[in-house]
Structure 1
Amino acid sequence: MKSLLNRRSVLAGPSHLVQVARATGGGAGSPPPDDSNAASPADAADAAAMPSAAANAPPADAPPRPVTTLRPVPAVPTQVSGRGVQIADTADIEWLTEEDALTPFRVFRSFSYSVSLLFHAKELAYYVALYQDGSLWRALKAADLEAAEAAFHHFEDQATRLSDGETRRAQLEAQNEQLARLIARSEAQAERLRSDLQRRGAQEQAVSTRQNQTRKDVSQLEAQRVAAQAHLNKAHRQIHQLNLTSNEWIPHLPNR
């Protein structure tokens, strides 16, 4: 008897090629086959329907060969179906925006880049749009909020990376402006201190000149005072002398 595929094993579990014991004789005097290896009527029908499988069966002493189980192939690629996100038509989004058919759920802005998570209630669809200077640049469409939020965070990270240069430029501009203000403030303070020093020096010079002039004036006045006092003393002596001279002409009168 030819080798047959065991139908029960195929239906019960993973597919295997099972070797069925070959009959020892083909004559009328041959002993009946063992009941354990006898084929059922259904197996006989399968054997008749598949002669090529029986003819190509391996030898009796070969081990059973496992057959790879077939798996279903998804109609949509796993990368897209796993995320539930697809490329959106920017013209459709612009038209829906003009018709006020989109409701913003999330908005992120970084300098000239912005990301919007938009909901189209009529189609129960979500759009994630990336804008640059207010112009629509890229857009994705998602069927559920979770996938749309993942796409939104992806565009958010992309916008953040794209605006890193502008962020650094804004920081450097602010730092340079602050340094310029500090420099101007320091220069103004230095100029004030320089002016104060110059004014103080001029005042000290004026005070010194005034003091010198005062000392000269005091010396001159002191000399004038000494000269005047000497002149006055001389005048007093002259007056005294003249008085004495005048008194000599006065006669001596006796006392009564």
Structure 2
Amino acid sequence: MDYKWRVRRTALAALVLIGGMGTGCAQTPPDNSAAANAAAAAPVAQTNAAPAMKDEQAATPALPLAASQPGVLTPDEAKQNAAGNVAELQQMLRGQELAELRTTYNGSYGASLLFYGKEMTYYVTLFQNKTFWRVIKTSDETRAEAIYHDFAVKSGQLAEVEIRRTRLEAQKAFTDRMIALTQDHANRLQADLAIAREQQALVADQQKQGRDQANALQAQKTAAQAQLRTVQRQVRELQQQVEGGLPIR
């Protein structure tokens, strides 16, 4: 009996000792390595969360803020333009599938609003010398009209220098032509004046010669008349001598 009691007492003491160690372990603060592991895990979680937020933002479509501004392309229009709207439009024009709704010309620049009825699509173009510069494709009628108006205004602005140059070239050509005509008139007047002066000198010389000849003839006439009178007197004297002593009737 004593032996069994001592065994039980020893086992009970061991259980009490084990229970006290467990209580002490439960009250011991956490190890620093565990805290470090937890701290390291936090950025990883945040890093993993960041791509998720970015993916969510990327999945959310951007609002077309530029849609209200005619001169700015929406993302869809920019994508279409990059895909080759110019080539597409040229091919459609060759097929005569487009209707020309509006066209504005300013010098060599211009804007056109074209309509593809089969797909209810509008093509708005800005061109120079019949060569497309920009082509915007849209199915929004209001936006197409706004872009066309913007392109028409822009074509006028681009053509201002060209129109001014054309006018200045025409004015210069007109001035040059007037200078040439005036110079030609002056040359003709100069030629006429030279002829008149030459003719005047010729006439003056002829007049002088005529006066000199007239004076010489006058002198010759006077001398001839004097000679005639002398000869006539001699004739009368000779006649008297011949008829001297003859009866007079």
TM over 0.5: yes
Give the paired residue count.
181
Residue 165 of structure 1 pairs with residue 193 of structure 2 = no
Q: Does 1:130 align with 2:126?
A: yes
Task: Please name the residue that 2:24 is paired with.
Answer: none
2:63 to 68, 72, 76: 76
Structure 1 194/82 Cα, relative in aligned 2: closer, same or farther at 3 Å?
A: closer
**Which 5+ residue runs of structure 2 have no aligned equivalent?**
1-59
Matched, 1:232 2:223: no
Report whether the alignment pairs 1:214 with 2:210.
yes
Q: Does 1:113 align with 2:113?
A: no
**Partner amino acid for 1:117?**
L
3-state SS, counterpart of residue 118 of structure 2? coil
The answer to whether the 8 A contact 1:102-1:119 is kept is yes
CA distance in structure 2 between the aligned counterparts of 1:169 and 1:216, rounded to whole angstroms: 69
Higher helix share: 2
Question: What TM-score do the two structures reach when normalised by structure 2?
Answer: 0.65
Instruction: Give the match for residue 28 of structure 1.
Output: none
* Inter-CA distance 81–240: structure 2 relative to 1 (3 Å threshold): closer
Matches of 1:138 and 1:131, distance apart in 2: 7
Whether the aligned pair in 1 keeps the contact of 2:66 and 2:73 (CA below 8 Å) is: no
Q: 1:41-80 alignment to 2 at 5 Å? A: 76-80=63-67
Q: Which residue does 2:201 correspond to in 1?
A: 205
TM-score (normalizing by structure 1): 0.64
Q: Deviations over 1:101-135 (max 9, x none)?
A: 21111112233322110001011121101123333
Q: CA RMSD in A?
A: 2.6
Gapped runs of 5+ residues in structure 1? 1-72
Q: Name the CA distance, whole Å, in 1 between partners of 2:211 and 2:91.
A: 97
The CA distance in 2 between the partners of 1:224 and 1:197, in whole Å, is 40
Q: Give the Cα separation in 2 of the matches to 1:189 and 1:99.
A: 58
- TM-superposed CA distance for 1:82, in Å, is 7.3
Per the TM alignment, residue 75 of structure 1 is displaced from its structure 2 partner at its CA by 6.3
Deviation at 1:97, TM superposition (A): 2.3
Secondary structure class of the residue paired with 2:124: strand
